[in-house]
Amino acid sequence: MLPRKRPVQEGDSSDGENLLKRHSVGCFISSSESSTGKSTATEANTTPKDCNKSDSSVIGSSSSNLSSASIRVLPDMAFGNGNPMDIDEDLHSRQLAVYGRETMRRLFASNVLVSGMQGLGVKIAKNLVLAGVKSVTLHDEGTVELWDLSSNFIFSENDVGKNRALASVQKLQELNNAVAISTLTSKLMKEQLSDFQAVVFTDINQEKAIEFNDYCRNHQPPIAFVKAEVRGLFGSVFCDFGPEFTVVDVDGEEPHTGIIASISNDNPAFVSCVDDERLEFQDGDLVVFSEVKGMAELNDGKPRKIKSARPYSFILEEDTTIFGTYEKGGIVTQVKQPKVLNFKSLRESLKDPGDFLLSDFSKFDRPPLLHLAFQALDKFVSELGRFPVAGSEEDAQKLISMVSDINESSGDGKVEDINPKLLRHFAFGARAVLNPMAAMFGGIVGQEVMKACSGKFHPLFQFFYFDSVESLPTEPLEPSDLRPLNSRYDAQISVFGSKLQKKLEDAQVFVVGSGALGCEFLKNLALMGVSCNSQGKMTITDDDVIEKSNLSRQFLFRDWNIGQAKSTVAASAVSLINPRLHIEALQNRVGPETENVFDDTFWENLNVVINALDNVNARLYVDQRCLYFQKPLLESGTLGAKCNTQMVIPHLTENYGASRDPPEKQAPMCTVHSFPHNIDHCLTWARSEFEGWLEKTPAEVNAFLSNPSEYASAMGNAGDAQARDNLERVLECLDSERCETFQDCITWARLKFEDYFASRVKQLIFTFPEDA
């Protein structure tokens, strides 16, 4: 099952472009008749000026199962010029590099439902809107409570009492005008799910989830179904993408290649490759051959299976005894095979969950127990109509009893050890949606939805459970510590207690960097109440400015912020999330040159440092300062769909600089300049030549022209080959290759092209003839 296009419904044009143009009509003007289900729409050629009206409207669609009284849509400029397949490469450059153009097109054609707009749901929706799916429908029948403000960055105290979905639309729409965002505030019926390629539920009872999941599986084509929950320091995800889901690309990596050195005439054949780069093949991989001289039978493009893969050789499961004798050359390339996954339904998986995805091998026994705990919690809520009360031993014991009953009826899947202490923590925090947990699971679920819509990357199969009970305070918590204080932090207090909340509010925090990670950190810290007392202070610094490409992942910024300082805009944005936050924004680079700004007193007063940097040198410097002043450091980084994190605690863990990553593979310069045979070689060569002619040489010439005598003296004192080379280049640039007119520049470029791509190639072939 691959993601499908939205079907053309009655009244729609058969032309897909017209269909999407209809969907992206510029404005809907609200009127006094809105409450009766009537609405007035502008013509399709509404001018941009008319579209700036701030009112949203209640609209209905004759081709939808959703009632007009329950849907609200903000004005949108969904697909620009009516062409849905246009990808804004400036905005989505990073995503294009990771997913590729075809995957992005599938993603841009996907309609997604997110049900439950508490902390977890809004973070999932935020990630999908930034990713650029076609549409996101927000569903929630409940209203905003003060309790929600500890985990939901969209809501403010002014939103208390409003419907959660309606209160979320405007701020989510600001993140990406190319995504159509609508809301559903009435009871959800299973037939309405047919409008979507993927549906996500974050606040649904087990019985209804099973009903919806069965409908999604039986629908043709199947609808990807994701159920996720965050309960205090515990979380779960369940994925079902249908009975047969095809993963087009399991890992998203480029196919591995190798240059052939020899192939034997055997059964099976032994293949060796040149030893300048290790092979990345694995046993069972399929490969194809090209440009093989002599054994031309292998150049037929047929995928062949390999085994016994080694760093520079492998065995080909092919009889080559009747093939020609290998002479020279050839490239072997991995063939990426689609993978078909057979998901089980939620109904089946609850009884027989199969293998759980592990995130911490020291907790290998936790997922089976948490599988029972989440089922028991659903039973508790359905019977009592509420969650367990934080600190209530009676409620905790009732939940533990339910877990035991479910376990006894589990048959072969029975858990040997019911951990009452763990289940007690689970019961106490069951009502709370904690922001850090919601942020983590929001990222996971957002990624799973993108996998479902695109078919790229292996999805979560099928249950994932996670807990972070080690985050609890070490000292015992009294029930009185967990009581709500009628504040926006009550959900957090119900898990960690009021004493820890006070420490968070008094904290002195230094956040270095306000890019993609920095925005997330700042949002998390603000929602948690960090540095929100008069004694607390948060300092954020970043010397960069906002670019358009930042907007697809750095959600605190908007298009009108382009060109402004990142730290200043980020600080203003998080102050809106939590007005009590005490934050100072700086534009200084952290390094030896700014130790007058970040002096000893500054470092000594800090409680924790959080890195959100994009280069190793800055990370090492901050790490050394934290090591010297004995400050905790949270280090992290991302690369495409990969990430890492490291918590550095003084006297407990090693510091960031204690271990270094292995150096990246680099080809010898002789290979790069004379025999570049892969993309990396060609890029390295092109960059070297470009910098030499268009950066380094002009810089040397300018240095000479600004002070000829001093420059000549410096070169003379150096007296090495590099100095001589620099002088020769300066002489060429000012004499033999001097360009005074535009025509001279064209002539110079044409001669360089002839030299690089004709003369040098001919010389190389002459020096190293083909039959040598």
Q: Tell me: pLDDT of 11 over 60.
A: no
**Confidence bin at 407 (pLDDT 50/70/90):** very high
**Peptide bond connecting 255 to the previous residue in cis, omega within 30 degrees of 0:** no
Residue 335 main-chain phi, psi, to 5 deg:
-105, 120
Q: So what's the pLDDT on residue 688?
A: 81
Q: So what's the pLDDT on residue 681?
A: 76
**Confidence bin at 493 (pLDDT 50/70/90):** very high
Q: Strand pairing of 508-512 and 304-307? A: unpaired
Q: Tell me: pLDDT of 728 over 50.
A: yes
Q: Is 417 helix (H, G, I), strand (E, B) or coil?
A: coil
Q: So what's the pLDDT on residue 51?
A: 37
Q: So what's the pLDDT on residue 771?
A: 67
Q: Tell me: pLDDT of 772 over 80.
A: no
Measure the CA–CA gap between 555 and 573, rounded to whole angstroms.
10
Q: So what's the pLDDT on residue 115?
A: 96
Percent of the chain whose pLDDT exceeds 90 = 59
Measure the CA–CA gap between 220 and 449, rounded to whole angstroms.
18
Tell me the one-letter amino acid at 486. Answer: N
* Mean pLDDT along residues 729-748: 86
* Mean pLDDT along residues 180-194: 94
Q: So what's the pLDDT on residue 671?
A: 66
**Peptide bond connecting 663 to the previous residue in cis, omega within 30 degrees of 0:** no
Instruction: Using CA atoms of 456, 113, 120, 73 in order, give the dihedral in degrees to the nearest 10.
Output: 120
Residue 247: both structure tokens together: 């993963």
* Mean pLDDT along residues 284-299: 92
Query: Which fold would CATH assign to domain 506-658?
Result: Rossmann fold (3.40.50)
Q: So what's the pLDDT on residue 187?
A: 94
Helix (H) or strand (E) holding 585: strand 583-586
Model confidence over 504-524: pLDDT tens digits? 999 999 999 999 999 999 999
Q: Tell me: pLDDT of 718 over 50.
A: yes
Q: Tell me: pLDDT of 180 over 80.
A: yes
* Mean pLDDT along residues 119-147: 94
Is the CB of residue 551 less than 8 Å from the CB of residue 534? no
Measure the CA–CA gap between 248 and 241, rounded to whole angstroms.
14
**Confidence bin at 272 (pLDDT 50/70/90):** very high
Measure the CA–CA gap between 574 and 153, rounded to whole angstroms.
9
Q: Using alpha carbons, select from 81, 87, 79, 33 the residue that is nearest to residue 60.
A: 33
**Confidence bin at 33 (pLDDT 50/70/90):** very low
Q: Give residue limits of the domains in the chain.
A: 1-23+76-249+337-363+431-488, 25-66, 257-335, 506-658, 669-767
Q: So what's the pLDDT on residue 171?
A: 92
How buried is 119 (Cβ within 10 angstroms: 0-12 exposed, 13-18 middle, 19+ buried)?
buried
* Mean pLDDT along residues 68-97: 53
Q: So what's the pLDDT on residue 298?
A: 93
**Confidence bin at 22 (pLDDT 50/70/90):** very low
Among 38-42, 162-166, 544-548, which is the least confidently predicted range? 38-42
Measure the CA–CA gap between 527 and 490, rounded to whole angstroms.
12
Higher pLDDT, 673 or 387: 387
CA distances from 54 to 28, 49, 72, 73, 557 (A): 10, 12, 13, 12, 20
pTM here is 0.76
Q: Is 296 helix (H, G, I), strand (E, B) or coil?
A: helix
Residue 162: both structure tokens together: 């409003």
Q: Considering the chain, what is the average pLDDT of its residues?
A: 84
Model confidence over 137-176: pLDDT tens digits? 999 999 999 999 999 999 999 999 999 999 999 999 999 9
Q: Tell me: pLDDT of 474 over 90.
A: no
Is the CB of residue 598 less than 8 Å from the CB of residue 631? no
Q: Strand pairing of 234-240 and 180-184? A: unpaired
Q: So what's the pLDDT on residue 646?
A: 92
**Confidence bin at 126 (pLDDT 50/70/90):** very high
Residue indicated by tokens 């979320």: 168
**Confidence bin at 68 (pLDDT 50/70/90):** very low
Residue 51 main-chain phi, psi, to 5 deg:
-80, 0
**Confidence bin at 417 (pLDDT 50/70/90):** confident
> Architecture of 1-23+76-249+337-363+431-488 per CATH?
3-Layer(aba) Sandwich (3.40)
Q: Which residues are catalytic?
A: 670
Query: Which fold would CATH assign to domain 257-335?
Result: Elongation Factor Tu (Ef-tu); domain 3 (2.40.30)
Pick the CATH number of 669-767 from 3.40.50.720, 3.30.230.10, 1.10.10.2660, 1.10.10.60: 1.10.10.2660
Q: Tell me: pLDDT of 244 over 70.
A: yes
Tell me the one-letter amino acid at 56. Answer: S
Helix axes 435-454, 101-108, angle to 10 degrees: 110
**Confidence bin at 712 (pLDDT 50/70/90):** confident
Residue 763 is classified by DSSP as H
Q: So what's the pLDDT on residue 518?
A: 93
Q: Tell me: pLDDT of 9 over 70.
A: no
Among 581-585, 667-671, 673-677, which is the least confidently predicted range? 667-671
Measure the CA–CA gap between 712 and 700, rounded to whole angstroms.
11
* Mean pLDDT along residues 199-206: 96
- Confirm whether 1-23+76-249+337-363+431-488 and 506-658 share one CATH topology: yes
Q: So what's the pLDDT on residue 673?
A: 66
**Spatial CB neighbours of 322, under 8 Å, sequence gap ≥ 6:** none
**Peptide bond connecting 708 to the previous residue in cis, omega within 30 degrees of 0:** no
| Residue 486 backbone zone (phi > 0: left; psi -120 to 50: alpha; other: beta) | left
Rg (CA), the chain: 31
Q: So what's the pLDDT on residue 699?
A: 84
